[in-house]
Structure 1
Amino acid sequence: MASFSSGNLRIVEQKATSSLSNAQKTFNRLSKKIAKQREQLGAWKTTVPLYQEKYVREFDPLLQSFDEHRVELVHIFDRLYADKIFSKTDRTKLQHLICAMAADLLDSGDHEELKEIYNRYSGSDYDAEEEQDNQEIRSMMESMLGVELGDDIDMRTPDEVFDHVSKQLYEKLYQDVPDMEHQAPSHSSRKKSAKVSAREARLQAEAQQVSQSIREVFRKLASTLHPDKEPDPKERARKTELMQRANSAYSNNDLLSLLELQLEIEQIDQAAVNSISEDRLKHYNKVLKEQSAELQQELDMVEMSFRAHFDFSPYGALSPTMAFTMLERDIAQIRQDIAGLKDDVELLQDPKNLKKWLKAYKIVRRPVFELDPFFGMP
């Protein structure tokens, strides 16, 4: 049997002097696009568990160690704050450092013992500030996305927020369709024009033809692959696996996979693909467009969920390869940061060393999104 790989399905020019029709070119373009989308989706589905495993095994313990050393520094700064060696300017810098570092550590959801220190140096209340921030973020998201986020949604957990928003957007999308029927009852009672009726009839006929095209391909496959008619055990097992693929493709309206299966089992050949009629290509292209749109939507959802879960920016290009490269970079960087923090913890316990160190430190009023507590530090 001839070898076959996904993405090979395309119409080829039969003669050097001939050219493909617009419908044939569209078929090839959509086939190539779907093959690429499948590859991207497969890469993401492979990457996510591998990334999760590496993140938990390597990066997460380093992050915990990093935070533990920062907690030590907060306590060192707190303990030495009242030392007479420090000037008013020194204490202002220490106050800024303590508040910034304590807030960042508290924002991670751990280190509750730092609340008292933060509240004492900030002159505020961390819980009250967090609640206000959550309300502002909630209001902004509700306004921008047109959804409702209940008070029980924890705004500090991106996965929970993302899942809740996605569910509401999905429900709203499909609720808008019946709602539109009730927006203008006077129009629904009007007699449809001949033009409108003809258009609706044409769209309905096209939909039936599209469905019929998929059904015909599936029936041809089923007639050949039905395992109950196969006496040989090995061949029956092979046909069972192929039939399962055909059933899955049919249930998902995956025309391309059905056609690829036909090529794989040599039910059709390249000549048959080349000679698909223009009318049938029109129906096939409609199905492939819908399939490509669904694949793109699934790709977007997988990538959005990944970005939210692992705290990637919602903007900018991102691929599975890029994600792993960035994780390797972050692991190397945090190891360097931990080594530096260990030196700081040992060095800055001496008030004299801390005073020298503070002399070079400059307070920078950071934007809200800047979370690095050592931002502005020499």
Structure 2
Amino acid sequence: MYAERVLSGMRPTGSLHLGHYHGVLKNWVKLQHDYPCLFFVADWHALTTSYDQPDIIEKAAWDMVIDWLAAGVDPNQATIFIQSRVPEHAELHLLMSMMTPLGWLERVPTYKDQIEKLSHKDLTTYGFLGYPLLMSADILVYRANRVPVGEDQIPHLEFSREIARRFNHLYGREPGFEEKALEAVKKLGGKVGKRFNELRTRFQQDGDAAAVEEGKRLVNEAQSLSLVDRERLLGHLEGTGKMILVEPDALLTEASRMPGLDGQKMSKSYGNTITLREDEASVTQKVKRMPTDPARVRRTDAGNPDKCPVWQLHQVYSDGATKEWVRQGCTSAGIGCIECKQPVIDGILKEQAPMRERAQVYLDNPALVREIVNDGCAKARRLAQETMTDVRAAMGLNYA
């Protein structure tokens, strides 16, 4: 079994907003304490839709890394790197493209959706068609077995699992694999080895998923096995051969609850955002200008919080007592809309204060950001090279 490892990335599209923080970055900060994490700037992915605007990518990448650091991503706990600085991503993408059926790419749900949404751009490119395979390469080149995704991204992860499974099936047959796998079974001991063989038969003949899970547990609990023997047994169990690429599992994340200034989902395309490090005066003005319940034409008119975008922000930033004060004051016209907005302003500024403080260190010393990324790229590349050594050997490209 390979070590637990989490991988996630973001496209560099400019300054991040509070929706990114609540939807992704807060989770990253938590995960870095629980797993070895790799977080990368997906600059090649940015080119799949912005291939005609390459000049914006580099600045956006550095700004985004500062936003990550400001949000609390710790370079001493997580590896931060840039995708294009680890060329093994592209090499694995190329090699896997040799064995990836075209129909698998065309059936990815977001392919046609994105073409329709971005109809103003020509996306009839190989890069856009193949971006799910590049996403798979991003994950598989690190043998990352945990990927934080929302429900809508599950098809992409399943695609990566299918690619890993197909690769292992095609190329995971090392010379003498069956004999070596049977020798590894003997190392489990008589009773455990017999049980392992029963579970293997149950899975391969009947498709019993529970049998696979129990078989994996037996392998994991065996103390005397080498890493290579563990790989062989797992491949023998599932009938794939040696497990060269690891099938990733989803770490399901909750959808962001962060509404925009107009009540819709916070998004740059809607023009309703507050950026992570936006200055206090701008935040204050934006919230004060937010639309409220249209029924409250005058200060003395009663309102309904459920029809007011500001109330949605109270769900994120206000405690129970404040929300009760808002509901009571709004429905009775006891408070005005400006009064109602002040706790939201205070909550946002309080959340942003440590982000601005952390970011300032890197804004004052940009070389420190470069140093963090250079170190992260070196660490990531070492991991990627380990995988590619095995991949090349499996595909007959090991010209030693």
Q: Give the TM-score of the pair, scaled to structure 2.
A: 0.22
Name the structure where helix makes up a greater proportion of residues.
Answer: 1
- Higher relative CO (Cα under 8 Å, sequence separation at least 6) belongs to 1
Q: Give the TM-score of the pair, scaled to structure 1.
A: 0.23
Name the structure where strand makes up a greater proportion of residues.
Answer: 2
